[in-house]
């Protein structure tokens, strides 16, 4: 059997039309790389698996008879993959050019890279905030109390990442969103992949912790980009509840490493910050102006966050 350089892994749950577009874009834009594509279907009810079998016969299709979650499904495919490198893609992503193939050619010659991540953009071209620092009490205070406004923007961005920096620079980060993860097979073999006890959310952060524990870099590359429609499957199942799920996972993973007391303090700091933000956004909404609608949306998100963090902090979640 001929050697394969790259195995592309996609986990799907009820995103048939997005998945069809994703698979077609892979065929168009990484044809220069020796690759295979594996799709794990988590018991979709929308005909996703049948569509793949019918329209993409070269794709290796794994069909689960229940939704086993993001982490376990990806691990299934990575165990069966034949490539020296693995590319994990969400089913609601779209390749629009050859930049991912170019990124692969670049990172395969960088032996310290254990996880590569590219720029993810919304369909309208806006950059998504998908690179992160691991949680800490210091960072939580720096952000929640607005202390980042007291230092130069570039310095604040380097400390916090997420939406505080401009995503134009290649750099090492702590962890990245699981919608795009490019890694050597040996990283999967050394770490065992995702923690399968995490059904939804937090898997990417927890895995990056263990990857970095072994001395590998997690690195962001701005020159490659992928369109990401974001939360397509999650919106079907979780809706607004995903805000609470993300915060709960973050607290649980941090607590497992720093201890439960620090975990509770982290949530309390975040709760205080959410209350401050909600008050600020409410005031800006009352002032009005052309950004009033955007501030109203920010206030709604802050209120979701307050409710979730209050439940987490008081042990009601």
d(CA 208, CA 134): 9
DSSP 8-state assignment for residue 60: E
Q: What is this structure's pTM?
A: 0.92
Query: Which of 175, 205, 196 lies closest to 71 in space, CA to CA?
Result: 196
186 Cβ neighbours under 8 A, 6+ residues apart: none
Asked whether the predicted pLDDT for residue 292 surpasses 50, the reply is yes
The residues facing 83 across adjacent strands are: 4
| Residues in CB range of 244: below 8 A, 6 or more apart | 304, 307, 308, 311, 312, 317
- Whether the pLDDT of residue 235 is over 60: the answer is no
User: Measured between alpha carbons, how far is 252 from 151 in angstroms, rounded to an integer?
Assistant: 30
Does residue 14 carry a pLDDT above 80? yes
Closest CA to 130 of 170, 162, 158: 162
Residue 317 — very low, low, confident or very high, per pLDDT cuts 50/70/90? low
Contact 149, 193 (CB under 8 A): no
pLDDT at 299 over 80: yes
In angstroms, the CA 76 to CA 306 distance is 36
With a cut of 50, say whether residue 275 has pLDDT above it.
Answer: yes
Q: Which CATH architecture has domain 4-129+167-237?
A: Alpha-Beta Complex (3.90)
C-alpha 79/C-alpha 241 separation (Å) is 31
131 within 8 A of 117, measured Cβ to Cβ:
yes
**Residue 51 C-beta-side C-alpha neighbours within 13 Å:** 21
| pLDDT tens-digit readout, 69-115 | 999 999 999 999 999 999 999 999 999 999 999 999 999 999 999 99
pLDDT digits (tens, 9 = 90+) for 141-199: 999 999 999 999 999 999 999 999 999 999 999 999 999 999 999 999 999 999 999 98
């Amino acid at each position: 059997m001929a050697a394969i350089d790259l195995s592309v892994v996609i986990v799907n749950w009820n995103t048939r039309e997005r998945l069809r577009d994703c698979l077609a874009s892979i065929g168009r834009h990484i044809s220069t790389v020796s690759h295979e594509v594996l799709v794990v279907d988590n018991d979709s009810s929308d005909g996703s698996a049948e569509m793949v079998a019918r329209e993409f016969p070269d794709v290796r299709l794994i069909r689960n008879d229940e939704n086993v979650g993001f982490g376990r499904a990806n691990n299934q495919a990575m165990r069966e993959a034949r490539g020296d490198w693995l590319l994990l893609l969400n089913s609601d992503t779209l390749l629009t050019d050859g930049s991912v193939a170019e990124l692969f050619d670049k990172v395969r010659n960088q032996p310290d890279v254990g996880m590569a991540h590219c720029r993810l953009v919304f369909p309208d071209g806006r950059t998504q905030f998908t690179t992160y620092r691991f949680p800490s009490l210091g960072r939580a205070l720096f952000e929640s109390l607005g202390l980042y406004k007291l230092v130069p923007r570039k310095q604040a961005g380097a400390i916090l990442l997420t939406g505080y920096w401009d995503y134009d620079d290649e750099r090492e980060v702590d962890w990245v969103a699981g919608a795009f993860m490019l890694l050597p097979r040996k990283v999967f073999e050394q770490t065992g992949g995702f923690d399968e006890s995490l059904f939804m959310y937090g898997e990417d952060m927890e895995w990056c912790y263990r990857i970095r524990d072994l001395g590998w870099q997690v690195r962001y590359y701005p020159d490659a980009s992928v369109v990401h429609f974001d939360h397509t499957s999650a919106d079907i199942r979780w809706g607004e509840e995903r805000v609470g799920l993300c915060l709960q996972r973050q607290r649980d993973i941090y607590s497992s490493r720093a201890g439960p007391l620090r975990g509770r303090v982290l949530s309390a700091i975040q709760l205080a910050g959410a209350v401050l933000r909600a008050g600020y956004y409410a005031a800006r909404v009352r002032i009005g102006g052309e950004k009033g609608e955007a501030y109203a949306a920010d206030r709604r998100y802050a209120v979701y966050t307050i409710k979730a963090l209050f439940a987490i902090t008081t042990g009601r979640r």
